[in-house]
Structure 1
């Protein structure tokens, strides 16, 4: 009887630890699951990454347990990562000096945001001077397991902005944004 109780306790403990192990290393579980699969289907067209012009290679992005992501500083001294705007993958740069999330018209179209010429009625101050912009409300903005809905953003003309900037309208909605030893921790 004691052996059965001990075996049951060990089995229950192992089963309870699976979710924690998955959070710590989800890629390991995906790799193990892929071994048993005979056919891997490509990602649907709407989930494929949106190319970004003039953005340096994305440095490492570490998924931590829970809703935490660690970004490593890139060679240009910026923190960049793979985000999802309205479910569409994009490479973007964290910009704590930007009030709002900002991107260009091409990115807006790919993320399903419809704008007309009349929408570009706001004059905003950018690092490159004054530009016309349109206001947008994002359904969602995600990085790793962090997901924020209803994020305010601005859309600039394609010639006015090349990079996608993740500003304070997203960062202020997180519980922690911390920089230490060349790494940025984002936590929800």
Structure 2
């Protein structure tokens, strides 16, 4: 039993250190179907209805100018986040009363464990991509500094795909 556990831990350690290297290598060899020039030239008017393109930032994160309940919010796409996540300051800006929220859901973040309140956003949109009634977590400001666009939004799209430094959202 101990030998089996040691073998498993060893294999997991090797995979954890080597898989990112293979993924980066594969990402470099896959040709992007959307060029950087296409993204730069793409305006909401030039894209088909229900399509939005996000450009990766210098760290490789896909960010964009979203609207939540009609108000502009800068968001970072996070496929590892179960729900859209906003902090208290953003919630207030969206017209959500913090006093009425129940921070009873324990969650784990990159900054550690915290508690969150569950809300439903009337709508989340970017360009012509729009999703109604999106579940979201509100976290304390000290637990979350930016807005995360999680799977409660992404799974409601027809498709989302990252190719090169561009993510395409389709509804």
Instruction: Tell me the TM-score normalized by structure 2.
Output: 0.72
Structure 1 residue aligned with 2:70: 87
In 2 relative to 1, CA 181–136 (structure 1 residues): closer, same or farther, beyond 3 Å?
Answer: same
Instruction: Determine which of 121, 131, 135 is the counterpart of 1:152.
Output: 135
Summarize deviations over 1:37-73 as a string: whole Å, max 9, x none: xxxxxxxxxxxxxxxxxxxxxx969432111011111
Alpha-carbon separation, structure 2, partners of 1:72 and 1:163 = 17
Gaps of 5+ in 1: 1-58
Moved more, 84-93 or 113-122: 113-122
Q: 1:109-148 residue pairs with structure 2 within 5 A?
A: 109-116=92-99, 119-148=102-131
In 2 relative to 1, CA 178–90 (structure 1 residues): closer, same or farther, beyond 3 Å?
Answer: same
Structure 1 residue aligned with 2:89: 106
Instruction: Tell me the TM-score normalized by structure 1.
Output: 0.66
In 2 relative to 1, CA 67–117 (structure 1 residues): closer, same or farther, beyond 3 Å?
Answer: closer
Deviation >6 Å, runs of 4+? none
Query: 1:181: how far off?
Result: 1.9
Structure 2 counterpart SS, 1:65: coil
Structure 2 residue aligned with 1:178: 161
In 2 relative to 1, CA 118–70 (structure 1 residues): closer, same or farther, beyond 3 Å?
Answer: closer
CA RMSD of aligned residues (A): 1.7
Aligned length: 130
Give the structure, 1 or 2, with the largest relative contact order (CA under 8 Å, sep 6 or more).
2
